[in-house]
Amino acid sequence: MPFLGQDWRSPGWSWRKTEHGWKRMVYFGHELEDNNREISLKELCSDNNDHLFVGDVCELNTAKRKKDFYNNNTKFQFVFRDKWIYVQKGSTKERHGYCTLGEALNRLDFSSAIQDVRRFNYVAKLFQLIARSQLPSLSGAAQKNYFNILEKIVRKVLEDHYNPRLVKELLQDLNSTLHSLTLHVGRCVLVGNVNIWLCRLETIVKWQQELNDLEIPKQIYSGMSFSDLPLHMHNKILCNLSDAFDIINLGQATPTLQVLSENGTLWKKLCLFHFSDKLFCRNLVINKNDNVDWKLMYYSLLKHYPMKEQYGDTLHFCKHCSILFWKDFGHPCTASDPDSCLMPVSPQHFIDLFMF
């Protein structure tokens, strides 16, 4: 058969033998309509064949437009059987290429991770770091996947009222980054049409408005409430909180909690938890009684050092296999002692794994 492919690098067209001769098949498997005109050998070899492939090209363009419309409007996420990814930073004889951040977003199951309370804060923090510095490095498919998962994060907060402050910070950073990239840096930095990014920017503003208008309904219980607990239980709960904003917000609930939230011992434990490995003796804040004001001490240290990150569950990296995975899913490890090769991966470390 003569070579009738659209591109000299392509394998050519697919053909099927029928009673009336050979008929061409389209790439996605549908047979051409019967009313398509047949191409004779004489017509093919003639010099006047400029109009020969006009109908076929139009037909393929129509199919391409339908496919592009589906790809641009669908929110389908690529589903992979394996919930782990091999982190390759260079080419070897056995393996060529390298792993990208966008590929990791597509391969690792972040859509299911946000439904788990232990992993929600981890994914939200990771998406916040990507919004701050890594948006230009994402491919078109990774961008679509990123915003699809981000929409699920916002919907979960609106439905379950879980940690809205963290998601508000994420959207604020994303809004600031897109404003900077689309208005000040230039449209060539981001992959895709600038109008698409402007539409995404409008969507982010709408999400921010929905979160600002969020009102958590008051729960009515007939049994024992939080205020009925004894004081030592209230103090125990406050000591288990690792975020200063949570302590301050809880202190605004009742006058008793207000007094407990100002306890110096509580803020001292908070400073030691977040900054125990830092040299902060020079930053001691002394009050009039020559005692350390640990609340002011905490906010002084916060200006110089980041808080210690704490998550219920994180991604893990196997140093033996160079595989990134969720610990619950596991990975095909070949080490004799797999547990000794595991290393928890923080959100910033996740970003650093794909910095080349």
Query: Residue 192: what pLDDT?
Result: 75
Phi first, then psi, for residue 18 (nearest 5°) are -125, 180
Compute the C-alpha angle 114/115/120, nearest 5°: 40
Closest CA to 180 of 129, 133, 125: 133
pLDDT tens, N- to C-terminus, the chain (356 residues): 454 545 545 556 677 788 888 877 754 434 434 444 444 444 444 555 444 444 444 555 555 555 555 555 555 455 555 678 888 766 666 555 567 888 888 888 888 888 888 889 999 999 999 998 888 888 888 888 899 999 999 999 998 888 888 999 999 999 998 888 876 655 557 777 778 888 888 899 999 999 998 887 777 766 777 777 888 888 888 888 888 888 888 888 888 888 888 888 888 888 888 887 776 555 555 554 557 778 888 888 888 888 888 888 889 998 888 888 888 888 888 888 888 888 898 898 988 888 76
Query: Residue 38: what pLDDT?
Result: 47
The set of long-range contacts for 54-60, using a CB threshold of 8 Å and a minimum separation of 24, is 59/26, 59/32, 60/6, 60/26
Query: Would you call 94 exposed, middle or buried from its count of C-beta atoms within 10 A (0-12, 13-18, 19+)?
Result: exposed
* CA dihedral (123, 127, 129, 130) positive or negative: positive
Closest CA to 228 of 256, 188, 206, 197: 256
Can you give the pTM of this predicted structure? 0.69
Closest CA to 349 of 320, 314, 304, 321: 314
H-type alpha helices, 74-139: 101-107, 110-113, 117-133
Query: Residue 130: what pLDDT?
Result: 92
Q: Token digits for 187?
A: 């449209």
Give CA separation, 98 vs 3, 137, 143, 316, in Å: 35, 14, 19, 19
Spell out the domain ranges in the chain. Answer: 243-303
DSSP class per residue in 3-65: ---SSTTS---EEEEETTEEEEE-TTSPBPPTTSPP--HHHHHSS--TTTTHHHHHHHHHHHH
Asked if 83 and 322 count as a contact pair (C-beta separation under 8 A), the reply is no
Query: Would you call 183 exposed, middle or buried from its count of C-beta atoms within 10 A (0-12, 13-18, 19+)?
Result: exposed
